Amino acid sequence: MIKNPKLWLSAVALALIHLLVIGAGFFAPYDPTEQNRDLSMAPPMRIHFVDSRGHLNRPFVCPWVAEGQRTGPSGYVEDCSKVSALRLLVRRQPVRNGKTMLASLHLFGVDTPARIFLMGTDDYGRDLLSRLLYGGQTSLGAGLLAAGLSLSLGLLLGCVAGYFGSWTDDVIMRGAELFMALPWIYLLFAVRAFLPLHLGARQAFLLLIGVIGLTGWARPARLIRGVVLVARQRGYVLAARGFGASSASIVLRHILPEVSSVALTQAALLVPQYILAEVTFSFLGLGVGEPAPSWGNMLASLQTYSVLEGHWWMFASGLALVPIFLLFYWFADSLQGRLQVLGLSR
């Protein structure tokens, strides 16, 4: 385990990030769609430890106060005359459809009516930290599920093509080439045009996974087919066939283990690629729609020059992608190295 620290570090870090995102309901201080219209585009709040008299205190925040109509960094000033202490494990009652819902537990928060925005707010005064965490459910979730889908398809079709060869192989591989030539974005435009006008956030999410996953099977399928082609010539496969084993059992028992290392590495490479695909689609307004957050639609407001120029905290979801991608690539890289070692020693 210690032999390959890079593998384990990246795996643990990824697991933590996913845990954070899955537990958004607990880690995020607010509902991601809750608007605070008096605090639109407020910069991140600072956590203070030292009060105005210079005494060390338990952590607290000072509320933003709007100066006139302007929003943005110069539109707000900190008002430390009424501070609110940062509390851990608070209960809040969210409001949905104009009705107050059951209280839920949150990791941290401040006593109402004060509010805490550690990452600032967006155009509508929605807490960016909460949106980042909930948006991760969409973006990271889409990446994982779409990768799972396209890999399963790739595995199935790759094994079939590689194992049976001849015309089956031809049909599947020409199909794969066709799919690789498909322009995804236009395909999504087309699919969207045929669907009913309003897709709920969940349907839009599933549609995205469907399109990304179903169009992405070709690359892994080609790779897996290559491995299967080699594997089916191996002595133990020929032996098994000689003993009368069925095709299914040969594939499952002898060929799949050979392929698994390639498939795993592929998965680690495909996930970030598909996360990026989701982000791109949502950025273009084709993915999950407002008010549900996704890292893509959160970035959409950066299309305006004024936001780009003066509201740096709106980059949050874009910046979050960088370490996640790096971790996934490290993970894929070290996984490949490790599996090669294992493969050789077998």
Partner 1 sequence: MGDMKHPLKFGLYLLMLGSLPAFPASAPTLQVSKSDEDILVTAGDSGRRGGRLQASLHSDPKTLNPVTAVDVPSKQIIGLLGADLIHINAYTQRTEPALAKSWKVSSGGTRYTLELRHSIQFSDGHPFDADDVVFSFKVYQDEKVHSPQRDLLEVGGKSIQVRKIGPYQVDFELPQAYAAAERLFDSVTILPRHLLERAYEEGKISQTWGTTTDPSQIAGLGPFRLKQYVPGQQIVLERNPFYWKADPSGNRLPYLDEIAFLIVPTEDAEVIRFQAGDVDVISRIGADNYATLEHVQRAKDYQLYDAGPGLEYNFLFFNLNDLSSKHLPDIGRKQEWFRRVEFRQAVSAAIDRESIVRLVYQGRATPLWDQVTPGNKLWMNADIPQPPRSLARAADLLRSAGFTRREDGVLVDAHGQPVEFSILTNPSNAQRTKIATIVQDDLAQLGMQVHIVPLEFQAVMARIFDSYDYEASILGLVSGDADPNPEINVWTSGGATHVWALSETHPTPAWQSEIDRLMQEQTTMLDYRQRKHAYDRAQELVAQFDPVICLVSPHVLVAAKNMVGGFKPAVMGDYVLWNADQLFRTDVAGRR
- Positions touching partner 1 (CB under 8 A) are 33, 35, 37, 40, 68-72, 74, 96-99, 123-125, 193, 197-200, 284-286, 289-291, 300-301, 303-307, 309-310
Helix axes 5-22, 316-345, angle to 10 degrees: 140
**59/66 Cα distance (integer angstroms):** 23
Q: How far is the CB of 126 from partner 1 (least distance, A)?
A: 10
Left if phi > 0, otherwise alpha if psi is -120 to 50, otherwise beta: which for 165? left
Q: How far is the CB of 71 from partner 1 (least distance, A)?
A: 6
Residue type present at position 296: G
Of 125 and 141, nearer to partner 1 (C-beta) is 125
**276/283 Cα distance (integer angstroms):** 10
Number of alpha carbons in the 13 Å side-chain half-sphere of residue 178: 7
Of 203 and 260, nearer to partner 1 (C-beta) is 203
* The token pair that represents 31 in the structure block: 């509902």
**213/148 Cα distance (integer angstroms):** 8
Of 116 and 286, nearer to partner 1 (C-beta) is 286
* The token pair that represents 280 in the structure block: 């791109």
Of 216 and 296, nearer to partner 1 (C-beta) is 296
**How far, in whole angstroms, is CA 218 from its chain's centroid?**
22
**103/107 Cα distance (integer angstroms):** 13
Of 68 and 235, nearer to partner 1 (C-beta) is 68
Q: How far is the CB of 102 from partner 1 (least distance, A)?
A: 12
Of 255 and 292, nearer to partner 1 (C-beta) is 292
Q: How far is the CB of 188 from partner 1 (least distance, A)?
A: 13
Q: How far is the CB of 40 from partner 1 (least distance, A)?
A: 5
Place of tokens 């002898």: 254
For residue 238, what is the enclosing H or E element? helix 235-242
Q: How far is the CB of 302 from partner 1 (least distance, A)?
A: 11
Left if phi > 0, otherwise alpha if psi is -120 to 50, otherwise beta: which for 323? alpha
Of 93 and 260, nearer to partner 1 (C-beta) is 93
Tell me the torsion sign for CA atoms 62, 100, 22, 217.
Answer: negative
Structural contact between residues 328 and 271, judged by C-beta atoms closer than 8 angstroms: yes
Of 98 and 235, nearer to partner 1 (C-beta) is 98
Q: How far is the CB of 199 from partner 1 (least distance, A)?
A: 8
**How far, in whole angstroms, is CA 5 from its chain's centroid?**
24
Q: How far is the CB of 51 from partner 1 (least distance, A)?
A: 32
For residue 104, what is the enclosing H or E element? strand 104-109
